[in-house]
Structure 1
Amino acid sequence: MRKVKVRLRPIVSRINLPTVLKTAILPGESTERLFIATQPGEIFYIGNGDVRTFLDIRPQIIKLGTSGGYDERGLLGLAFHPGFSYNGLFYLHYSVAGTQGPGALSERFQPDPCDPKTLNLRWTNREAHYDHIDTVEEWILQANGQPQKRRTLLNVRRPFYNHNGVNSLNFSPETGKLVLTSGDGGAGYDHFNLSQDNMEIAGKIIEIDVVKNTNISNPPAVTRFNELPAPIQETLTVIAKGVRNIPGISFQRLFNQYVKYIGNVGQDLAESIFSFVHYKPIPVTQLIQASLRNIEPDQEGFINFGWRGWEGAFPTSIIKGCSANPTLDEKIIAYYDEAVITSVKRLPPLTSYFHQDPRPDKFEGTALTGVQPYMGDEIPALTGSVVFTDLARHEESRPPVRGVLAYTRVRTDGKLNDYRIIETDDHFGSQSAYYVSLGTNLDQTRLYLGVYGSTKVTDFNQGTIFEIVP
């Protein structure tokens, strides 16, 4: 892969932490607008050179940053219906105000392979022991230009405050369905193994048929598919399981088919990007019937990313210091049996990058924050490649911190590929620059980068949106 250097052209600055960057054509217009959703609950768009407010739902968002300022809740997803320019429909995914709970566990957890009870924890008393409720809603831009909520599609209880996904709503150009990418519920190591349990909503990629059964407008808050009303179950299919945490799904058209890209945020070892073309989603009604009959559903063509048994290309490990040599780490397989069971069922990653990497031309990552294909020709070395962002270089523990931009490609033989860092100009001086989001336009010929000066959602107005240009 070639060396690539790009510039970051600032578009807008002094905004709150940006979670979603995407373009859409407003009803009555013909030009794409860049929309920016922020974690506290604002949605802006760029119109005629200035920043305009599209929607502000901050009062409807759970109180953020109550434990030190860092948070993974808030406004997580924004998706525009493929017919938005004439029907005005769009969709939101966010953490609901007033739903704060005590959480699913009262103390910090780490699996211990020598203690079976830590490997088989169960999430009990879920109606009381949860952190918050996330909702997926359908909205419409009315003729007077004012957005209005139409109905709620899902209400989901989450066990912990983190791993809720981000950029979590996208429409599939293949099926026309809304795709929800849901993390495993948080707190590390997937305590309750929700991501591999077919009945759990957590840790899945779910298609929602927004045309079907539109008469139910306020479903109950649940954690499992079989707790949903039957008409809601009938709108859902599951594309994949084994998700830890995920910055959305993206689709790249190649000839008459689409390549799907998924980034799975790692635990301690690696951040991983997966790609697939063919898949066979399973209707939720089939999953429920199989569960009732205590049989495994037909999973031929179903995607499994392998978590919690696998972290990318590696069995999930616990990293401990070596008492005999403080410069080395001991790595213990956390869930050996699960790694064996899922070894042949899982999808291998397209590429991984690592939290520790001795190679001089690589970087030590922290957390994957965006994955987008680039189909433009203004940066020829990137055309047809997959661009991704990491929050911050792991080795830069002292300010000013810098995020990382990199790219990879799909190999024709389907094997694991390497990646290369994309060099950028530096606008930031003594200010830290965490790369928190990555977006693109409708035909994937432009790339947008969201940068923030802090990891705390309570530190306001430190965000800048850049376009990545030659």
Structure 2
Amino acid sequence: MLSRRRFLRLGGGCLALGVAGCSEEQPPSTTDIATHTPPPDSIPDSVQLRQLASGFAAPVGFEPIPGRTDEAAIVDQDGRVWLHEESGLRETPLLDVRDRMVDLNQGYDERGLLGLAFHPDFPANGQLYVRYSAPSRPGTPSNYSHTFVLSEFTMDPAGTTVPLDSERTLLEIPQPQSNHNAGAVAFGPDGYCYVAVGDGGGAGDRGRGHVSDWYDANQGGNGQDVESNLLGSILRINVDDRDDELPYAIPPGNPLVGQAGLDEHYAWGLRNPWRMSFDGEDLYAADVGQNQYEEVNLVEAGGNYGWNVREATHCYDAQNCPRETPDGTRLRDPIVEYDHGGDPPNGAAVIGGYRYRGALFPDLDGTFVFADWILNGQLYAAEEREDGLWNTSVVDLQRDGGDVPQNALALGRMHNGELVICTTNRSGPSGDSGAVYRIVA
């Protein structure tokens, strides 16, 4: 039964990640926040962008292919995945799910093909996992926007095309509104699949499809509800096994196993966890804020990150700012936060990043390198602190032979640990300004 709800009891921006359409025939070508600190001497003042591939609609992911040196999949939000080889992009897509997706708005849309992850044992089993926005399926109310789909595909591990008839649907989650779709998919060192899910859309985590139809200071939204739906959370599932009638198994260590709540939940209290990444056993999730603050969280099993009563470390539209749930569970603070104005870091929507483990920038080793959708010619590098928010420094971006792109959609990590950045000059699904750049010295 999913009728019970768990949410906080209190005492009294939209993410501009639009898509841009490529032509059918032509493939792409090759305020005072504690984190505002002066750059320490160890952080480089600037880095260079070197174009790796261009002509995309809205590249939202760069995923190295396990077992295939120097090959990666570039995920385009318009519904296609492109294979990048040492010689450049192949002319035909690795995967094309456009005919399985909702029709995307050309002016602005947060739906589409939003995430991809290769199975850790891909060289042997050829399995990859894809997250896309489908038209409403059975079980999705007629007045909802669309259905969240997570599917498994199987291909020849040495091949260049994914057979569409190999699709096996794992998750279908009704989405009330068209925004806050998150979309990240990643495998952890434990071999389990982690899936980021937004709060259902709209604003403030309320309205149609949310546990509260209007703002009520005595209720949280989907982010605080772990019993009625899977929204506003990071899920963890075992794709290599099945439980009862489920197409996957529940890891026995998931925090709600044997307790009230849906067993897939790994962490909750999130608004729109757009991208996430692992560094060893540590999981980092970039959660897009509402109107004022952006945040990056170090995600722990059973962690509650406060949405929709908190936005980063700040009170969100409530009569007070609780530090814990009624049962005494502490709300987790982010490791990084920044606002939408003032000194950098600033912006409108955090797009995530990675702890740097490459060789080109020894002084960045171990820092969390990330960006905002409004790129402003800058990356940010956050240095870990034992307590409190991490110190964040600004790293300027330069590009030989052209201007730095206007918007960033995601960071990616190559086989050798160096970083790439996925960019666009548009906010909607039109044009071909999307490009992927290597970050070099």
Q: TM-score range by the shorter chain?
A: 0.7 to 0.9
CA RMSD of aligned residues (A): 2.8
Report what 2:346 is aligned to: 364
SS at match of 2:123: helix
- Which of these residues, 160, 179, 183, is aligned with residue 177 of structure 2? 160
- Which of these residues, 71, 84, 89, is aligned with residue 33 of structure 1? 71
Deviations 1:69-92 (A, max 9, x none): 111100011010001112100001
1:337 shift after superposition = 5.1
Report what 2:389 is aligned to: 416
Report what 1:222 is aligned to: none
Report what 2:144 is aligned to: 130
Distance, in Å, in 1 between the alignment partners of 2:243 and 2:140 is 28
| CA spacing shift, 1:429–1:33, aligned 2, 3 Å | closer
| CA spacing shift, 1:10–1:371, aligned 2, 3 Å | same
Report what 1:335 is aligned to: 318
| CA spacing shift, 1:62–1:147, aligned 2, 3 Å | same
2:101 matches 1:61: yes
2:363 matches 1:381: yes
Report what 2:422 is aligned to: 450
Within 5 A, what are the aligned runs for 1:10-29? 10-25=51-66
| CA spacing shift, 1:8–1:190, aligned 2, 3 Å | same
Deviations 1:193-220 (A, max 9, x none): 001001221101001110121896889x
SS at match of 1:247: strand
Deviations 1:298-320 (A, max 9, x none): xxxx211111111111111xxxx
Report what 1:348 is aligned to: 333
Distance, in Å, in 2 between the alignment partners of 1:218 and 1:344 is 32
AA aligned opposite 1:308: N
Gaps of 5+ in 2: 1-39, 211-220, 249-260
Residue pair 1:406, 1:422 contacting (<8 A) in 2 also: yes
SS at match of 2:264: strand
Report what 1:267 is aligned to: 290
Report what 2:186 is aligned to: 170
2:440 matches 1:466: no
SS at match of 2:205: coil
- Which of these residues, 54, 76, 86, is aligned with residue 124 of structure 2? 86
Report what 1:114 is aligned to: none
Residue pair 2:296, 2:334 contacting (<8 A) in 1 also: yes
Task: Tell which deviates more after alignment, 76-85 or 55-64.
Answer: 55-64
1:441 shift after superposition = 2.6
1:161 shift after superposition = 0.3
Deviations 1:374-425 (A, max 9, x none): 11121112111101110116xxxxxxxx3531110221x2321221111111
| CA spacing shift, 1:432–1:21, aligned 2, 3 Å | closer
1:265 shift after superposition = 0.8
Within 5 A, what are the aligned runs for 1:63-462? 63-65=103-105, 69-96=107-134, 98-99=135-136, 127-142=141-156, 145-148=160-163, 149-166=166-183, 168-173=184-189, 175-191=190-206, 192=210, 193-199=221-227, 200-213=229-242, 237-253=264-280, 258-276=281-299, 279-280=300-301, 302-316=302-316, 334-336=317-319, 339=322, 341-342=324-325, 345-357=330-342, 359=343, 362-392=344-374, 402=376, 404-411=378-385, 413-426=386-399, 433-442=406-415, 445-457=417-429, 459-462=430-433
| CA spacing shift, 1:338–1:88, aligned 2, 3 Å | same
Distance, in Å, in 1 between the alignment partners of 2:336 and 2:404 is 30
SS at match of 1:195: helix
Residue pair 1:208, 1:236 contacting (<8 A) in 2 also: no
AA aligned opposite 2:240: V
Distance, in Å, in 1 between the alignment partners of 2:413 and 2:402 is 26
1:145 shift after superposition = 5.0
Residue pair 1:183, 1:204 contacting (<8 A) in 2 also: yes
Residue pair 1:209, 1:236 contacting (<8 A) in 2 also: no
Residue pair 1:273, 1:352 contacting (<8 A) in 2 also: yes
Residue pair 2:50, 2:400 contacting (<8 A) in 1 also: no
1:341 shift after superposition = 4.8
1:31 shift after superposition = 1.3
1:136 shift after superposition = 0.6
Distance, in Å, in 2 between the alignment partners of 1:439 and 1:10 is 14
TM-score (norm 1): 0.73
AA aligned opposite 2:297: F
Distance, in Å, in 2 between the alignment partners of 1:36 and 1:215 is 35
Report what 2:251 is aligned to: none
SS at match of 2:437: strand
| CA spacing shift, 1:404–1:339, aligned 2, 3 Å | farther
SS at match of 2:94: strand
Report what 1:293 is aligned to: none
Residue pair 1:252, 1:260 contacting (<8 A) in 2 also: yes
